[in-house]
């Protein structure tokens, strides 16, 4: 059974190489090596309780877990347009930035989601130019748009995946599932009352997944 624990892991900029594989380990600054799992976009769905919020759902390449990230309508619209191949003929802001990066001699290679705290994901976006490699702090929603344009890869740390993601094909006992649902629903009410909507959206996904297993 997965436990939801809110924690965060931050990295500074680094120029160390990252292997392009489904499982990655790399260090940044003085941190120890962290394992990363390759993920892809599964779907984008609009929240029913907040019209300006969407859920960007990631799934690992081995289809063992899914992980939702709550994004705003401004981030969701260009993502949906890119996924549906309906991008406008004139460049949007993210397209302009992507063109600028390439004109400057860099390529956007990959994103690593490094942490999650109080409903906020932290991530690093990797740029490469010649022999130089640079990682910059970013929002996952911004990075995903650029990676769709560059056909780059996306990764999440195993720690974040285990905290926020939900296992597919898990089958807990009916007694433990009933207790878990009661605890999760009580927590969901508190989050909504405190207007912590991003955390509530992640928790609601977990509740729906648990109900689907009953």
pTM: 0.65
Between CA 42 and CA 168 the distance in angstroms is: 13
Q: What proportion of the chain, given as a percentage, has pLDDT over 70?
A: 75
**116 Cβ contact list (under 8 Å, min separation 6):** 6, 7, 8, 122, 160, 163, 164
pLDDT digits (tens, 9 = 90+) for 36-88: 999 999 988 887 666 778 889 999 988 888 898 888 888 888 888 888 877 66
E strand or H helix that includes residue 149: helix 140-150
pLDDT value of position 186 = 85
List C-alpha distances in Å: 184 to 60, 118, 133, 176, 209: 24, 16, 42, 12, 12
At 28, is the pLDDT very low, low, confident or very high (cuts 50, 70, 90)? very low
DSSP-derived letter for residue 169 is S
Report how far residue 121's alpha carbon sits from residue 158's, in angstroms, rounded to the nearest whole number.
14
CA pair distance 101, 94, nearest whole angstrom = 11
Residue 111: closest CA among 149, 139, 69? 139
Distance, in Å, from the CA atom of 151 to the CA atom of 133, rounded to the nearest integer, reads 17
pLDDT tens string 171-210: 555 666 677 788 888 888 888 888 887 778 877 877 887 7
Average pLDDT value over all residues in the chain: 78
């Amino acid at each position: 059974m997965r436990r939801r624990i809110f924690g965060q892991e931050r990295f500074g900029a680094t120029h160390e190489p990252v292997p392009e594989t489904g499982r990655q380990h790399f260090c940044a600054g003085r941190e120890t090596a962290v394992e990363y799992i390759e993920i892809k976009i599964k779907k984008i769905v609009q929240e029913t309780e907040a019209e300006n919020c969407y859920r960007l759902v990631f799934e690992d390449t081995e289809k063992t877990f899914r992980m939702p990230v709550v994004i705003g309508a401004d981030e969701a619209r260009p993502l949906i347009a890119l996924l549906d191949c309906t991008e406008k003929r004139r460049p949007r802001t993210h397209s302009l930035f992507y063109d600028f990066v390439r004109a400057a001699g860099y390529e956007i290679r990959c994103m690593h989601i490094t942490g999650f705290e109080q409903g906020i994901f932290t991530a690093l976006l990797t740029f490469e130019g010649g022999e130089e490699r640079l990682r910059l702090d970013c929002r996952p929603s911004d990075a995903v748009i650029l990676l769709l344009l560059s056909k780059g890869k996306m990764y999440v740390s195993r720690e974040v995946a285990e905290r926020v993601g939900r296992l597919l094909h898990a089958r807990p006992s009916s007694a433990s599932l009933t207790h878990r649902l009661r605890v999760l629903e009580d927590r969901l009410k508190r989050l909504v009352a405190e207007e912590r909507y991003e955390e509530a959206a992640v928790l609601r996904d977990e509740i729906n997944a648990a109900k689907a297993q009953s």
